[in-house]
Amino acid sequence: MLIAALTSLLTTVPTATAQVEIDANDTKTPISRNLFAKFTEHLGRNVYLGMWSQIVLNGEFAPRDRWMNPENVDRALQGEAELYKLPNLPDAPNHGIAAHWSPSDGLTGELVKQGIHDVQNVTVGERGGALRTGIFPPFHRVREVEITLTASSAPAANVTGRIETVDGKPVATATLAFEEAESTQTATLTAPDSTYAPGTPYRLVLAFQPNTKTAVRRVLLFPSDHVEGWEPDVVRYMKDARLPMLRFPGGNFVSGYHWEDGIGSLDNRPTLPNPAWGGTLEPNHVGTGEWLRLCELTGAEPLICVNAGDGSPEEARRWVEYCNGSTNTPMGKQRAGNGHPEPYHVRYWEIGNELWGRWQIGHTDAHGNAKRYGEFLSVMREEDPSILFIANGGSAEWNRILVNEATEPVRSLAEHTLPGSHIPNDADPEVVFREFMAHTDAYDDTIRELVAPMVEAGLTPLLAITELQVFTNKPDLPNNSSLTDALWTAGIIHAAIRTDGLVEMITHSAMMNHAGGLRKERGIVFTNPVWWTTHLYADQNGVIPTGRTVTAPTFSTEGKWLTKREGMLYLDVEALLSEDGATLSVFVVNRHPSESMETTFTLNGFEAGAATVDTVTGDSYMARNRWDATELVVPKTEMVEMGGASLARMLPPHSLTRFLFSRKP
């Protein structure tokens, strides 16, 4: 009886209720669509084996000690040996074999340097021999893979390119012929029509004929559906979201990056240690031309961050000239020779990255940063006076020194918001979630504090949030792969909207695999929940904030980890009207960790005929997608006919909902 009574009581507890009133006649300062942008850098598998569709890990045959931290390579090889069934992989670098390649018996290897390139010399006897490396070809998507091999052979001989299972069963084979003079040959590896389980590991084999000596310099393996080198799913996701802006090439990476290493033919691009991230190699396959082509393909506006770490103002000036100069300029002529006669007209340039951080190459203090800003800006602006510059901002005091000491006026201050790394793994996840929600509620105060030095100096205040993500980096806490990042990022966007034009852009970190939006694991591209925040805000036309009144239950936080705040509404609401007045987008974050909210929406000044309702949620604020379960957190879409000025909806807990209202004809 007691249990039955308690059960009845629990099931009859009323759902929390809320009211939202939107006043479309009360319009505010229009926002920029660049609040819904993304950032990427050369880190981990963000670019290589990520957005870039080439699938061989070490196609340039770099030796183990080319990595900044070779011990990271050793750990990786141990895992790859088991995954791809290549037991001699960890020991191969000790026997003249490039990292991530495994030799067969009877093969002798020697690594030599020829100019800026590494060459894998291979000698085989009467039984022949082979090199193997692990790969994840997307056979769940396409059957053809293009192999490109640069090599020479004495005497002239064939090299067989083969994809095989990890048990050695051949799947696709092609033969390439080489002579004593080096050449580059391309062939197609075609897998038979069959069912291929997504995420299955395979091996690429380079098999050499008996009694030959072969010098192998490069091997590339692209799925046949690549889009000018880019992963087709990445291009599709970016286009579908109408991504407005993409920041590149870093990040910490850019403070040691010299852009001229990444232009022109691959034969002129060196393979180098990644200067910022020791576990990553930089083959320079993706440089200025590739990044800007991705922007052209997807409609994203580029934001280039320049090397103000160990780079020079003159180097930055040449970069501007390469991107924006006419063919009558030396760098513009070089750009044309590399296949792009027309200037790219890159408008946004950020001078330096996190120069306040002691981990940063070229770290300096606030006074040094102010000096560098003036030096870089003056020569870059001489090259192109139309450039919109972003200064390397930091704390309010850092910004004050920058604004007061820079020899050139500051147009905009960069801000990186990456909270949570200090939170211990044994913290209560719900407390952490609530404090991340409180952090967004207070973030508009942070924005005003950061731009206050510009106001004090009589400048028009402007902030560019060029890196942003939940940064706990702990799997048992709300993190950047979980639904929490999607809701938190929506809250940061709302805070920016509330500041009446103080924020010109938010480039959320990062595009792929470095948390952020998209993931690619085992050859499968899928979404982190936060991608759908990017998509829902970017794929709508609203840019004019309108008035809104919200009545809802409230909560408070103690500020143990992030933010102490009282009386916060569980519903975080913003509305955006399109410039033509045809659509009204209403975004609602239900910040309650466990309760739905029965909510009545009333529209004033906008007679809606219908609404499209998109909801992103999961089984908890910790929900995430995986390579083997890619749709646990994706938008659920409904069409709703409006019967009047009001609409009642049940908002799930820990959810983001977009109501896209169309004006009644």
**98-118 pLDDT, tens digit each:** 999 999 999 999 999 999 999
- Band of the pLDDT at 14, cuts 50, 70, 90? low
Q: Tell me the average pLDDT across 470-488.
A: 97
Q: Determine the Cα–Cα distance for residues 342 and 335; give it in Å rounded to an integer.
A: 9
| pLDDT reading at 156 higher than 50 | yes
What percentage of the chain carries pLDDT values higher than 70? 98
Q: Are 305 and 353 in contact (CB under 8 A)?
A: yes
Q: Tell me the average pLDDT across 87-95.
A: 97
pLDDT at 8: 37
> What's the pLDDT tens digit per position in 119-153?
999 999 999 999 999 999 999 999 999 999 999 99
| pLDDT reading at 275 higher than 60 | yes
pLDDT at 3: 43
Q: Are 175 and 187 in contact (CB under 8 A)?
A: yes
The pTM is what?
A: 0.96
**Among 507, 521, 47, 512, which Cα is nearest to 274's?**
47
355, with CB counted inside 10 A (0-12, 13-18, 19+), is: buried
| 196 token code pair | 């291929």
Q: Tell me the average pLDDT across 628-655.
A: 96
Each as own residue / partner, the long-range contacts of residues 339-348 (CB below 8 Å, 24 or more positions apart, any chain) are 339/289, 340/289, 340/292, 344/292, 344/302, 346/292, 346/302, 346/304, 346/320, 347/301, 347/386, 347/387, 347/388, 348/245, 348/301, 348/302, 348/303, 348/304, 348/387, 348/388, 348/390, 348/505
Handedness of CA 529, 532, 537, 538 (dihedral sign): positive
Q: Determine the Cα–Cα distance for residues 320 and 419; give it in Å rounded to an integer.
A: 33
Residue 312 CB neighbours (<10 A)? 15
| 125 token code pair | 């006897």
What percentage of the chain carries pLDDT values higher than 90? 96
> What's the pLDDT tens digit per position in 484-511?
999 999 999 999 999 999 999 999 999 9
Amino acid at 101: W
pLDDT at 413: 98
> What's the pLDDT tens digit per position in 373-402?
999 999 999 999 999 999 999 999 999 999
CATH of domain 13-28+551-663: 2.60.40.1180
pLDDT at 5: 38
Hey, what CATH topology would domain 33-53+227-541 get? TIM Barrel (3.20.20)
| pLDDT reading at 9 higher than 80 | no
- Mean pLDDT over the full length of the chain: 96
| pLDDT reading at 1 higher than 70 | no
Q: Determine the Cα–Cα distance for residues 404 and 438; give it in Å rounded to an integer.
A: 33
pLDDT at 51: 98
Q: Determine the Cα–Cα distance for residues 98 and 121; give it in Å rounded to an integer.
A: 10
pLDDT at 6: 34
Among the four given CATH numbers 2.60.120.260, 3.30.470.10, 3.50.50.60, 2.40.50.840, the one describing domain 64-223: 2.60.120.260
| 155 token code pair | 């005497």
pLDDT at 18: 98
Q: Tell me the average pLDDT across 188-217.
A: 97
pLDDT at 514: 86
Task: Report domain extents, the chain.
Answer: 13-28+551-663, 33-53+227-541, 64-223
| pLDDT reading at 10 higher than 70 | no
**Among 519, 507, 490, which Cα is nearest to 353's?**
507
Q: Tell me the average pLDDT across 23-44.
A: 97
- Band of the pLDDT at 515, cuts 50, 70, 90? confident
Q: Tell me the average pLDDT across 33-61.
A: 98
| pLDDT reading at 2 higher than 70 | no
| pLDDT reading at 338 higher than 50 | yes
